[in-house]
Amino acid sequence: MSETSKLQKYLMWYKVKELFSNGLNKSQIGISLGLHRQTVSKYLSMTEEEFKQSQSYERRYSHKLDDYEAYVIGELRKWPFLSSPQLHDRLREHFTDLPHVTAKTVSNFVNRVRLNHNLPKELEKSYRPYEKQPETPYGQYAQCDFGERWMKTSQGIPLKVYFFAMSLSRSRYKFIYFSRTPFTTDLAVYAHELAFEYFSGVPRKIVYDQDKVFLVKENLGDLILTHGFRALVREHGFEPVFCRKSDPESKGKIENVVKYVKYNFLRGREFTSIEQLNEEVQAWLQRTANGMEHHGIRRIPSVEFEMERPHLMPYRGIPTIPSPKLLPHHVRKDNVITYKGNYYSVPTGTYQGHRTQVYLEEKEEMLYIYSLETGKNIAAHKICKDKGQLISNTSHRRDREAALDDYEATVRKRLPGDTVIDTYLSELRIHKNRNYRDNLQFILLRYPFYTEPTLIEAFTRCLEVKVFNGCSLMKVAESIRVHKGEALVEVPVETEPVPSSDTSSMVPDKTDISTFNTFFI
């Protein structure tokens, strides 16, 4: 009961007492105030203290989802940005005895939990709308795209996963496949085979972006397919249709599927292993993505797919896992790797401790080196036939001719404008003059993952206790981020058709706890 309602009732009780003291009987009081005679009798029989106590209780109604409130509270505290549809899916995933409730019931329940336990939802950025296209014939079109998103392990270690998505345009029946490495042509071909097997057929046309995985180049409309993708097209007889560059409207259905995977399935989900993630997404497809009514066509994709299946071309292939081509290698502290008796350089700053690794790929007498974290190609060398040689790329070394002042100005311009940061960098140059450029490079590499308030707080704390080290500064920023419960800022990374590694088994470097006690105790 609201405070206003309680006050109104109290005034009514007081008015009843006043009229009775003026000589009116119960019937007259009831007529005067619009109350039932029994209500008047009840009010007259109660003292002021008794009346206040009678109004102190809260009426409590039971709800169908009350038994699941503790679970929802836990999820919202861990992932405050979860939407009601996501929580509905989580409840269906974890509780087989969940009663049948509508989406509106779940939404009302989640909103009540947020209000009662002060669990506000994070603001979501808006997405631009896409123009609705006419429905295509059954079996005629599918759309394909790739996506990526950062996840966290149970230890809080961030890592990136990549996924392949294909959706049949008419039925909206979807297939998703996850990988820990960016998609190469071979891996994309394997994902196609899995999708065709999942659909029990092949659509006649598939719409794509002009991705390097599929195309060698595009020359004024003349498209040259990669060797592996061209073989796939010939084997299964479908026609690839490539969008013009920067034209997402022509394949808006799959763009929405990619967002659906990111924000309904992946967001707020912990990474265990890539095998487990693929099992979970298969269950999610059956339960939610293909099992619930699609808002665009107002039909359930799995039901509509039964109408589309007979119109697909037959699939007679067998998905074959591409042979692994990646070799994990440790990076030496002098920023080189050893391979077949020679030393090959990597960019200065790649080495971040004795557990630093990169992945190697030998192809056509070239050695390609890939970043462990992003999967991006960081170096390429022609393989040397001799032994004991240093094969170095001059661009990997620091530009010692470049003025340090100019580089410092660039770093200051990119960092948030704050006097604390300016003061810290000035002190850092004094205390770490010999390694100042290395410190600036490290800060420049790590700062985009944190919000501006977190960065400023980290700079402030390090300045207060006179800790002048770029690595320590970023570790403090990470500790502050975890303490605040903030998510890592998603930094746009150029999509590269190159491999990466599985970091699920990585063990992070350990830092002396006394370092963080300085800041938080």
Mean pLDDT for the chain overall: 83
**Is the pLDDT confidence value at 406 over 90?**
no
Domain boundaries, the chain: 3-54, 66-116, 141-311, 327-396, 404-490
pLDDT tens digits for range 410-436: 888 889 888 889 899 989 988 888 888
For every residue of 42-77, DSSP letters joined together read HHHTS-HHHHHHHTSS------TTGGGHHHHHHHHH
Q: Which residues pair with 270 in a beta bridge?
A: 152
Q: Which helix (H) or strand (E) holds 198?
A: helix 185-199
Q: Which amino acid is at 425?
A: L
The pLDDT value recorded for residue 190 is 94
Range ranked top by mean pLDDT from 30-39, 123-132, 249-258, 506-515: 30-39
Angle value at C-alpha 453, between 448 and 458, nearest 5 degrees = 80
**Is the pLDDT confidence value at 364 over 90?**
no
Range ranked top by mean pLDDT from 35-44, 78-87, 170-179: 170-179
Residues 238, 141 contacting (CB under 8 angstroms): no
pLDDT tens digits for range 431-466: 888 888 889 989 988 899 999 999 999 999 999 888
Residues 500, 370 contacting (CB under 8 angstroms): yes
Q: Which residues pair with 149 in a beta bridge?
A: 161
385 DSSP 8-state letter: S
pLDDT over 70 for what percent of the chain? Answer: 83
The pLDDT value recorded for residue 437 is 86
The pLDDT value recorded for residue 491 is 66
The pLDDT value recorded for residue 277 is 96
Which stretches within 285-325 are classed as H helix?
Answer: 301-308
Least confident of 191-205, 232-246, 326-340, 495-509: 495-509
pLDDT band at 509; cut points 50, 70, 90:
very low
**Angle, in degrees to the nearest 10, between helices 452-464 and 419-431:** 50
Residues 359, 373 contacting (CB under 8 angstroms): no
Q: What whole-number distance in Å separates Cα of residue 331 and Cα of residue 350?
A: 8
Q: What whole-number distance in Å separates Cα of residue 114 and Cα of residue 53?
A: 29
Q: What whole-number distance in Å separates Cα of residue 514 and Cα of residue 402?
A: 38
Structure tokens of 7? 């006050």
CA 110 to chain centre: 21
For every residue of 131-158, DSSP letters joined together read PPPPPPPTTTEEEEEEEEEEEEETT--E
Placement of tokens 């084997």 in the chain: 235
Give the CA count within 13 Å in the CB-facing half-sphere of 245: 9
Give the CA count within 13 Å in the CB-facing half-sphere of 204: 10
Q: Which helix (H) or strand (E) holds 324?
A: none
Structure tokens of 139? 């079996």
**Is the pLDDT confidence value at 510 over 50?**
no
* CA nearest neighbour of 1 among 54, 59, 50, 48: 59
Instruction: Report residue 368: phi and psi, to 5°.
Output: -105, 135
pLDDT tens digits for range 37-62: 898 998 899 888 887 777 655 555 67
Q: What is the CA radius of gyration of the chain?
A: 31
The pLDDT value recorded for residue 61 is 64
pLDDT over 90 for what percent of the chain? Answer: 34
The pLDDT value recorded for residue 215 is 79
The pLDDT value recorded for residue 374 is 60
Q: Which helix (H) or strand (E) holds 496?
A: none
CA 188 to chain centre: 22
**Is the pLDDT confidence value at 501 over 50?**
no
Least confident of 24-28, 120-124, 197-201, 484-488: 120-124
The pLDDT value recorded for residue 228 is 85
Placement of tokens 């405050």 in the chain: 80
Residues 146, 210 contacting (CB under 8 angstroms): no
508 DSSP 8-state letter: P
* CA nearest neighbour of 190 among 323, 325, 326: 323
Angle value at C-alpha 439, between 436 and 441, nearest 5 degrees = 110
Top pLDDT among 446 and 278 is at 278
> Taking the model in full, what pTM does it have?
0.51
Q: How far is CA 428 from CA 144, 433, 464, 474, 519, in A?
A: 49, 7, 13, 14, 18
Residues 211, 248 contacting (CB under 8 angstroms): no
Q: What whole-number distance in Å separates Cα of residue 521 and Cα of residue 513?
A: 11
Cβ-based neighbour number of residue 308 at 10 Å: 22
The pLDDT value recorded for residue 297 is 81
pLDDT band at 499; cut points 50, 70, 90:
very low
CATH classification of 141-311 is 3.30.2010.10, yes or no? no
The four Cα atoms 495, 496, 497, 500 give a dihedral, to 10 degrees, of -100
Q: In sequence order, which residues have a C-beta less than 8 Å from that of residue 52 and are 6 or more positions away?
A: 10
